[in-house]
Amino acid sequence: MAQKHFEQQGTFHAISNAKNGMPWCTQPDVPELLVDNLVMTRNLYGAALYAFCVLPDHVHIVLSPGPKGLSRFIHSFKRNSSWHIHQLHPAAGVHELQLRNNEYRRSSITPAGAEKYFSGWQNGFYDERIRDEQQRSNAIAYVQHNAYRHGLIDDPCGWPWSSLAFPDVLDPLEVWFD
């Protein structure tokens, strides 16, 4: 059953997962591509980007999606990043990137033509609407330090694919009056 996202405007913490939990998001050259696509989508949609974190099998984003709404923003980000990954790895089907890392092996063969290009995103996404400055502050801190919470690094500020490493691409926070 398709996910329904009733609220499209406002500020959100959104999470998009890799298909089947496969850890392709931090394979060589992919995180840079995802960050570039996130910034490109922000610019195309008139969105505001407040925080993000690219983890091996999912991406967190804190944003205001712009006038076209959250679903259109996330759809565009996932579609464009899939296309760019295909350009980077032309032979990539859903599982090609995982096969580069010997830790991850595919257990079955994809039928010929089933994947015309890389489409490693899980369908849909998860979101939480942010309603006040405290919730936004908590969401930003959670997202920026998520790699530390997952045990991927020892220094909470040391993950290279967190918005902490890209302060120049973030939009200024709006002041909210209660």
Q: Which two tokens stand for residue 33?
A: 């591509």
Residue ranges per domain, the chain? Answer: 11-89+121-169
Domain 11-89+121-169: give its CATH superfamily.
Transposase IS200-like (3.30.70.1290)
Q: What is the mean pLDDT of residues 31-48?
A: 96
pLDDT at 113 over 60: no
Residue 87 is predicted with a pLDDT of: 81
DSSP state of 145: T
CB-count burial class (<10 Å; 0-12, 13-18, 19+) for 152 = middle
Confidence of residue 6 (pLDDT cuts 50, 70, 90): low
Instruction: With beta carbons less than 8 A apart as the criterion, state whether 19 and 150 touch.
Output: no
Provide the token pair at 29. Answer: 């050259």
Res 3: pLDDT: 54
Q: Six-digit token pair at 75?
A: 């759809």
Q: Which two tokens stand for residue 65?
A: 């999606």
The SS3 of residue 11 is strand
* pLDDT exceeds 80 at position 110: no
Q: State phi, psi for 13 to the nearest 5 degrees.
A: -105, 110
- Work out the average pLDDT over 60-69: 96
Alpha carbon distance 15, 28 (integer Å): 21
pTM equals 0.82
Residue 156's φ and ψ, nearest 5 degrees, are: -55, -25
CA–CA dist 132, 109 (Å, integer): 47
Amino acid at the residue 92: A
Reference 17, options 153, 127, 134, 101; nearest CA is 127
